[in-house]
Amino acid sequence: MDVKIWTYIIVGLTFALYIGIAIWSRAGSTKEFYVAGGGVSPVANGMATAADWMSAASFISMAGLISFMGYDGAVYLMGWTGGYVLLALLLAPYLRKFGKFTVPDFIGDRYYSNSARSVAVICALLVSFTYVAGQMRGVGVVFSRFLEVDINTGVIIGMIIVLFYAVLGGMKGITYTQVAQYCVLIFAFMVPAIFISIQMTGNPIPQLGMGSRLADGSGTYLLDKLDGLSTELGFTEYTQGTKSLADVFAITLALMVGTAGLPHVIVRFFTVKRVKDARKSAGLALLFIAILYTTAPAISVFARTNLIETVRDQPYSNMPGWFSNWEKTGLLAFEDKNGDGRIQYVADKAQNELTIDNDIMVLANPEIARLPNWVIALVAAGGLAAALSTAAGLLLVISSSVSHDLIKKMIRPNITEKGELIAARLSAVVAVCIAGYFGIHPPGFVAAVVALAFGLAAASFFPAIILGIFSKRMNKEGAVAGMVVGIVLMLYYMVKFKMGWLDDSVPTQDAWWFGISPEGFGSVAMLVNFAVSLAISYFTPPPPEEVQQIVEEIRLPMGAGEASDH
């Protein structure tokens, strides 16, 4: 069978599984809709958290980024995994003990202010919509290639699927769907990696294969070969970094603290029964995530090596079928600048004739390596699972921010549970439509968009949550001022340097403040947030005594077994 038929079969079966789970686990109450009833086991929650976390950026785009960035791409590995350590140690247990459904709910009650809640809702929506744009584009990329539809149509199909199980099942349906999606995506990620590792090095473990000698008997190490191929084409050695130390540090820190401040990840720790289960969930999620994250660099090396060897100075007419298939999507393009009919793939932009979108590398990798058609289709199903699982979690954050934090807590406190559930589902419908628009018109490739979402989370939520847990003196004035300044500063930097609102005569990179890229600027905005929050709180009245007592209690180990349900 050809790839298209295999894709229809495997993607169809996985979609049927997701929809079946959504129908079986549909939410009947707001607690089931928001936090799955609070009764999910740590193992299931760890897998669901991993799927929620390992988005299209992790599955589709991260290995593609590393393929083209080489050593510099390691910042994404360090930042995104290191963030989970922060989350497990500093946030998850305390937030679970506090017992609120959402991050804006925590901030609103901890800072005894609807103003703080309103700012938190706005920040949650900005972070979530920026993040979900990357997921919907990832869905479009997969559909455009493997179902042979354009990216916009692919985004619309993804919107319909995710809307069905997110609106029907809420967090309960999403949780168990994400458990299935984790199994699909990790299997889909590992199978081609193992195949190609054996093919290239004879080692079945991709993480070791990346550093092994080639199986061709030459005795050459794979990384040495890739370094040589890169320098021959004018690129920097694959294993050599080019980013400044300040930018590497800033991006890593922004991704770490952004992870710890992401509302759709934090809400997962409210779905378990006890505080110790929240800790177990975080640890298990890190283990499940590490399987993919330690494999991604290997896939990057395999894909980059195979790509260069396939296209380097080859006649365009001799290109295999995968090349023309990806050309149809517009994500791969050949322009014969010198008219010789051969592909010149070089670092010099004036002479380079091949344009490759980062996001195709993982999806095209099995095709480039000539793996069986069912493996190629499996990777497509895995990419969709990764994108849809995170999109569903983000949509739930958006809908709960509107229905629970905005309508229930501020606009109509007396709304019935049934009315709140209807509002949550209607909010999800509107959110899907907006997310689809951003998926069709994204501000960059998947991982770049997602990195900006982390910057926004770092700039807004992280200081407010950390200070809310560990500082009894932090008050509403400081928290609100810090969040507003942090998010506005990050948005300004994004608009100025990422969206093209800059004088064309000034090279963007040269104009970066402190030499820090937009992906890393969340670190600077976060530090400004901390400074403003602490300064304002010092010159304004302390929080009420009862609030200070709550802060004291959530850090006490005694009585931490059960969290309140209010």
The CA distance from 242 to 73, in Å, is 10
Tens digits of residue pLDDT in 205-241: 999 999 999 988 888 999 999 999 889 888 888 888 7
Task: Please give the pLDDT value at position 523.
Answer: 92
How distant is the alpha carbon of residue 100 from its chain centre?
24
Tens digits of residue pLDDT in 187-209: 889 999 999 999 999 999 999 99
Dihedral over Cα of 272, 274, 277, 278: its sign: positive
Residue 504 has pLDDT above 70, yes or no: no
How distant is the alpha carbon of residue 559 from its chain centre?
34
Q: What is the mean pLDDT of residues 356-369?
A: 84
Least confident range from 129-138, 299-308, 548-557: namely 129-138
The model carries a pTM of 0.80
CA angle at 48 for the pair 44 and 49, rounded to the nearest 5°:
115
Lookup: tokens for 341? 């009919």
CA angle at 302 for the pair 142 and 346, rounded to the nearest 5°:
85
Task: Please give the pLDDT value at position 27.
Answer: 57
CA angle at 34 for the pair 30 and 37, rounded to the nearest 5°:
75
Residue 84 has pLDDT above 60, yes or no: yes
Task: Please give the pLDDT value at position 427.
Answer: 81
How many beta carbons lie within 10 A of that of residue 371, not counting itself?
18
The CA distance from 222 to 13, in Å, is 37
Task: Please give the pLDDT value at position 133.
Answer: 72
Q: What is the mean pLDDT of residues 29-38?
A: 56
Which residues, 6 or more positions from 505, have their beta carbon under 8 angstroms from its beta carbon? Answer: none
Q: What is the mean pLDDT of residues 78-87?
A: 78
- In the three-class reduction of DSSP (H, G, I as helix; E, B as strand; rest coil), residue 272 is classed as strand
How many beta carbons lie within 10 A of that of residue 219, not counting itself?
7
Q: Are 402 and 34 in contact (CB under 8 A)?
A: no
Q: Are 369 and 379 in contact (CB under 8 A)?
A: no
Residue 563 has pLDDT above 50, yes or no: no
Task: Please give the pLDDT value at position 442.
Answer: 63
Residue 182 has pLDDT above 80, yes or no: yes
Q: Give domain 3-554's CATH superfamily.
A: Sodium/glucose cotransporter (1.20.1730.10)
Q: Are 121 and 401 in contact (CB under 8 A)?
A: yes
Residue 296 has pLDDT above 80, yes or no: yes
Tens digits of residue pLDDT in 324-355: 888 887 778 888 888 888 888 888 888 888 88
Lookup: tokens for 450? 């997602």
- Checking 192-196 for CB contacts under 8 A at 24+ apart, the result is 192/299, 192/365, 192/366, 192/369, 192/371, 192/375, 192/378, 192/379, 193/295, 193/298, 193/299, 193/302, 195/366, 195/369, 195/371, 195/375, 196/299, 196/302, 196/306, 196/365, 196/366, 196/369, 196/371
Task: Please give the pLDDT value at position 562.
Answer: 44
**Bigger pLDDT: 325 or 463?**
463
Q: Which of 51, 30, 54 is nearest to 102 (CA)?
A: 30
* Rounded percentage of the chain residues whose pLDDT exceeds 70: 89
Q: How many residues does the chain have?
A: 566
- Which range of 273-287, 441-455, 523-537, 539-553 scores highest in mean pLDDT? It is 523-537
The CA distance from 105 to 274, in Å, is 19
Task: Please give the pLDDT value at position 506.
Answer: 46
**Bigger pLDDT: 472 or 507?**
472
Q: Which of 61, 88, 97 is nearest to 76 (CA)?
A: 61
Domain ranges of the chain: 3-554
Least confident range from 219-233, 282-296, 382-396: namely 382-396
